[in-house]
Homo-oligomer: A and B are copies of this chain.
Amino acid sequence: MASAQHAEGEGPLAIVCGGGSLPLSVAKAVQGRGRRVVLFPVHGWADPAIGEGFPHYWLTLAKVNGFVSNARTEGCSDVVFIGTAVRPPFLSLRMDRLTLPVLSIMLRSYRGGDSHLFDGVATVFERYGFRILGAHQVAPEILMPEGAIGTVAPVARDRNDIARGLALLNAIGPFDVGQATIVADNHVLAVEGAEGTDAMLARITELRAKGRIATPRRVGVLVKAPKPDQDHRFDLPTIGPRTVEEVAQAGLAGIAVVAGSSIIAEPEQVAVAADKAGVFVLGLARNGP
């Protein structure tokens, strides 16, 4: 049952919870492996009901102390960050006592893209003696498997769109920009920036409603891949049932993500939603489609 990474004798795991359903899935999976879990949901991001059934301490952003003292009391030395996060304006953050010694790291990390920010967060937590793990290290069942989820399969045109999308994401990797693109019949319709995947898909839905998308419905693929040198402990590309619905609304044929380095939330519901919408959901082997 327990893998090498989850051997008995490990201390309890601290899970810093952002938004969405993934934090609870990870918490349940880790608990199911027999490891004690302590949740640290972030105010404004996490589901207000997430703490039910778990020991938990609500966190306020930039108040490092709220985490450090409680995690130490609970005996947690391993920490996982999981769930959606919205980066607030730096000046809106209210620091506390333990935040001040690491302020310069946080300031530096705020400059640049998300990968850069995560490096900074990791440095801060490690400075206080915590070890940061990726959610997929403690709950590998959340990783996207190779092959199709659901019964719909991509056609040759979709495979071509996937290859083009992967090549584009690879080309922009060094720029620490988005992890997703939309390619339809060899035409790049969108590249994800600060707006995120949901907003990018909504944009295509809107452009299509205005008659600005030349390709017909059921053509085009949402392609997601981790950045080439991304720290996999943070922010792996993630899809879930809502992604499937948004892809269907945008009139695309399917979703392709890199297997083993992408997260799938609620895979059973993803399969149901994909079959209902006639959308494919494909986990790509790392060496291409």
Contacts and interface: CB of A to CB of B under 8 A. Distances in A.
Copies of this chain, how many?
Answer: 2
A212 interface: yes
A208 to B, nearest CB: 9
Interface string A75-97: 00000000000111111100000
A101 interface: no
Contacts of A110: 214
Interface in A12-27: none
A275 interface: no
Contacts of A177: 168, 188, 191
Nearest to A200: B193
A224 interface: no
Nearest to A203: B195
A167 interface: yes
A212 B45 CA distance: 13
Contact of A171 (B92, B164, B174, B194): B174
Interface residues of A, number: 43
User: Most chain-B Cβ atoms within 10 A of its Cβ — which of A89, A204, A214?
Assistant: A214
Contact of A211 (B92, B112, B116): B92
A173 to B, nearest CB: 9
Contact of A214 (B90, B174, B186, B199): B90
Contacts of A213: 89, 194
B175 A164 contact: yes
A191 B191 contact: yes
Given A86-B212, A171-B174, A211-B88, A190 B186 contact: no
Interface of A: 86-92, 110-113, 116, 164, 167-168, 171-172, 174-178, 182, 185-195, 199, 203-204, 207, 211-214, 216
4 closest Cβ contacts across the A-B interface?
A: A191-B191, A190-B193, A177-B188, A189-B194
